[in-house]
Amino acid sequence: MAGKLNITPFKKVLIANRGEIALRIIRTLKEMGIASVAVYAEADRSSLHVRMADEAVCIGASPSPLSYLNIDALVTAAKLTGADAVHPGYGFLSENEDFAKAVTKAGMTFIGPTAEAISMLGVKSTARAIALKAGVAVTPGSNGIVGKDYRQVARKIGFPIMIKATLGGGGKGMRACLKEADLDRMMKTAQGEAKANFGDDRVYFEKLVLNPRHIEVQVAADNYGNVVAFAERDCSMQRRHQKLVEESPSPFVDAATRAKLQEAACKVIKAAKYRGVGTVEFLMAPTKEFYFMEVNTRLQVEHPVTEAVCGQDLVKMQIQIAQGEPLTLTQKEAARVRCHAIEHRINAEDSEHNFAPCPGTVEEWIPSGGLGVRVDSHMYSGYTIPSYYDSLIAKLIVTAPDRTRLLARSRRCLAEFVVGGVKTTIPFHQKIVNEPDFVAGNIDTGLIERMMAKEKKERES
């Protein structure tokens, strides 16, 4: 094996992102002795990731298309600073094949999968075909982009169905259609949203699994055919397809099902000839049957949950794989569950008024602390949250030996977390950890919507 290795250590890495994820990557680079280059739009001039990096380059005006989505500006910044590699973080251009190609063409390493893998797995209908070929179950569906015969295709699958944009994510271009009478209207809505967000109005159909859980498996694959899968994350606590809480291991998944999930995830990754860190997502029915949904070809927002449970630095693993180093972790080691962990996404939103964004100046910032607590954030007292980007301001990650103690610790942490000057989702997270169904582990992707409907009914009565 040693003679076949092609290892090229990085001296300097540019982070093509902002905020908490840029800061999180910078911290790992510092521990590895690798210089970091931050990029920033004008609105992020005072962001903590800019202060913490070894170098920082302004790449443009505040709107994302003029800065964090500007491939030419990012590649130019990397060239000018002499970066060996580019880490895309999550969101923005992290799953953009053109960006991966541009970085590679400029003579640098893209810390992630190849552009070909991004292209292949980024089109969800193609990813489904790969899963099927690998022998992994997928939800019954159109097995490809639907055309003018979409009514016939929908009837063949049987209602209810889910209409999904071929490209993109984050719940955009996704609509549930419960009966045929709504099909035309839902198609038009999904296609319009897909076109507006991703520049592509193509969609495909899947059978709608009622009361499902959203279960995902973190994977890592090197350049030498080695693949490992970690313990699952339960990401069922969602509002409008946006995750609010993630935990690992899932309170619903037993050891036998966990092993099946990991085996299925590895099959998909090997079939796609994937390299790097990624996530294979599944939909799980109340019967514990599960179906492949998609592959996220990047680091996930919720990766700290897996880091806590497996005891590994996933960003470091990404960098090592990109440098050409082989995985030294065995599947048995990767699968070991060391603790229970939960992540609360703290957003600058007013949960009492339809989760409206609340940009503004943070007048007071006192994050939670103590045993088993991690806070990933770029906030500080006096920082002004810009209105141009995602509303995520912090991730509260809590760990404990078991789920009962985990929830007790979460309640304590949420109660002591102080953010002054802007509204946040902390009060809503406090409701979640006290919700009887959540405490009992009776979770599915519709629980938050039911919580909100119940709360609204109680207010109106």
Burial 101-126 (b: 16+ CB within 10 A, else e): bbbeeeebbbbbbbbebbbbbbbbbb
DSSP 419: E
**C-alpha atoms less than 13 angstroms from C-alpha of 45 in its C-beta half-sphere:** 5
* DSSP 3-state of 116: helix
pLDDT above 90 covers what percent of the chain? Answer: 89
Contact (Cβ atoms closer than 8 angstroms) between residue 230 and residue 335: yes
pLDDT at res. 128: 87
Q: Give whole-number Cα distances, 453 to 135, 388, 439, 456, in Å.
A: 40, 30, 19, 5
**Residues contacting residue 55 through CB under 8 Å, at least 6 positions apart:** 35, 36, 37, 38, 81
Helix (H, G, I), strand (E, B) or coil at 90: coil
Q: Which residue has the higher pLDDT, 6 or 358?
A: 358
Question: Do 213-460 and 140-207 have the same topology in CATH?
Answer: no
Question: What kind of fold does domain 2-111 have according to CATH?
Answer: Rossmann fold (3.40.50)
The DSSP element (H or E) to which 110 belongs, if any, is strand 109-110
283 token code pair? 């939909």
| Residue 1 pLDDT exceeds 50 | no
pLDDT digits (tens, 9 = 90+) for 69-85: 999 999 999 999 999 99
Q: Tokens in use for 231?
A: 């313990």
With a CB cutoff of 8 Å and minimum separation 6, the contacts of 233 are 215, 216, 217, 218, 246, 247, 248, 250, 302, 305, 306
- Tens of pLDDT, residue by residue over 256-302, are 999 999 999 999 999 999 999 999 999 999 999 999 999 999 999 99
Q: Regarding the domain delimited by 140-207, which CATH topology (the fold level of the hierarchy) does it fall under?
A: Dna Ligase; domain 1 (3.30.1490)
Rounded to two decimals, what is the model's pTM? 0.90
Q: How many CB atoms lie within 10 A of CB 200?
A: 16
The Cα-based distances of 414 to 162, 232, 402 in angstroms read: 35, 24, 18
pLDDT at 2: 42
Instruction: Decide: 251 and 403 in contact? Cβ < 8 Å.
Output: yes
Query: 174-198 pLDDT, tens per residue?
Result: 999 999 999 999 999 999 999 888 8
Structure token pair of residue 297: 């070809």
Would you say 36 and 78 are in contact if contact means Cβ atoms under 8 Å apart? no
Q: Which member of 258, 298, 345, 374 is catalytic?
A: 298
Residue 371 is predicted with a pLDDT of 97
| C-alpha span between 129 and 136 (Å, rounded) | 10
Tell me if the bond preceding 65 is cis, omega within 30° of 0: no
Tokens of 304: 């700290």
CATH class of 213-460: alpha beta
Q: What is the pLDDT of residue 134?
A: 97
Q: For residue 83, what pLDDT is reported?
A: 98
Region 32-37: mean pLDDT is: 98
pLDDT in tens, 333-370: 999 999 999 999 999 999 999 999 999 999 999 999 99
Residue 407: closest CA among 446, 369, 436: 436
The pLDDT of residue 57 is above 80: yes
Known catalytic residue at 155 = no
For 130-148, the pLDDT digits (tens) are 999 999 999 888 878 999 9
Is residue 443 within 8 A of residue 389, CB to CB? The reply is no
On the CB side of 354, CA atoms within 13 Å amount to 0
> pLDDT > 70: what percent of the chain?
99
Query: 198-221, pLDDT tens digit by residue?
Result: 889 999 998 898 899 999 999 999
Q: Mind giving me the DSSP string for 265-286? A: HHHHHHHTT--EEEEEEEEE-T
CA distance to 259, 266, 334, 441, per residue, from 331 (Å): 10, 10, 5, 27
Task: Estimate the crossing angle of helix 183-198 against helix 150-157, to 10 degrees.
Answer: 110
pLDDT for position 168: 66
Q: 262 and 254 in contact (C-beta within 8 Å)? A: no
d(CA 137, CA 131): 7
Question: Domains of the chain: which residue ranges?
Answer: 2-111, 140-207, 213-460
Share the mean pLDDT of the chain.
95
Q: What is the dihedral of CA 30, 230, 324, 91, to 10 degrees?
A: -60
